[in-house]
Chain A
Amino acid sequence: QVQLVESGGGVVQPGTSLRVSCATSGFIFSHYAMHWVRQAPGKGLEWVAEIIYDGSETTYAESVKGRFIVSRDNSKNTLDLEMNSLRPEDTALYYCAKGRDGFSIDYWGQGTLVTVSS
């Protein structure tokens, strides 16, 4: 079965960086686009970034563009999100998610919590 397991969350100060990762199994990782979606405390879901199956194209939400970088290692079936210049408003549960097709998601991880606070 498909499994997505995020790691790397924690408490960091504003302006610093953090990398979260996602280990995957149960599907052919290199065949699918992958996404990061976040949920701030008490808020709804917000799409953050997408990377296509071979890593050659990435897309970002305006709120993180220029600060976050999504990458993947198809040899290790892992997905990463490097987050720079973090702001308090980046505080959220970050979900790794598998693309079903070009426009939706079919599997999600349990999330890793990132807290940006001084």
Chain B
Amino acid sequence: QTVLTQPPSVSGAPGQRVTIPCTGSRSNIGAGYDVHWYQHIPGAAPKLIIYINKNRASGVPDRFSGSKSGASASLAISGLQAEDEAYYYCQSFDRSLSGFMIFGGGTKLTVL
């Protein structure tokens, strides 16, 4: 069960800007829990790129930015490069589940 909703895919040409939305609810993002973003290239370890909504992880270029508003968040990537092609996952916390961390379903970014 995915409680954070992401589009399955987005695409953009090199140099363009794309955004990946992450929609939650009042029990997770809307309850004030922070959102974090991970980049995953199949075959490699996932990589933290944005933490606490808008902070870039070490070594992440400033082409990547995050934002949060209400029960939603988004990841923006400007100046698209071929190396950005990957899956992107948002992650938060949900107080309605006896579990802990929740992930979005993931978005495949294709650089045309």
Contacts and interface: CB of A to CB of B under 8 A. Distances in A.
A100 B51 contact: yes
B98 A104 contact: no
Interface in A83-118: 95, 100, 103-111
A7 B57 CA distance: 27
Contacts of B33: 103
Interface stretch (B9-17, B18-26, B42-50, B74-82): B42-50
Given A59-B100, A104-B51, A106-B57, A44 B45 contact: no
A109 B103 contact: no
A37 B106 CA distance: 14
Given A60-B99, A61-B99, A62-B97, A44 B105 contact: yes
B100 A105 contact: no
B33 to A, nearest CB: 7
A45 interface: yes
A30 to B, nearest CB: 21
Contacts, number: 69
B101 interface: yes
A50 B105 contact: no
Most-contacted residue by chain A among B38, B44, B93, B99 (CB, 10 A) = B99
Interface residues of B, number: 29
Given A109-B45, A110-B44, A110-B45, A104 B34 contact: yes
Contacts of B101: 35, 37, 47, 50, 103-105
Most-contacted residue by chain B among A45, A47, A59 (CB, 10 A) = A45
Interface string B81-99: 0000001010111000111
A75 to B, nearest CB: 25
B51 A47 contact: no
Contacts of B34: 103-104
A33 to B, nearest CB: 10
5 contacts: A37-B101, A44-B2, A50-B100, A103-B101, A111-B45
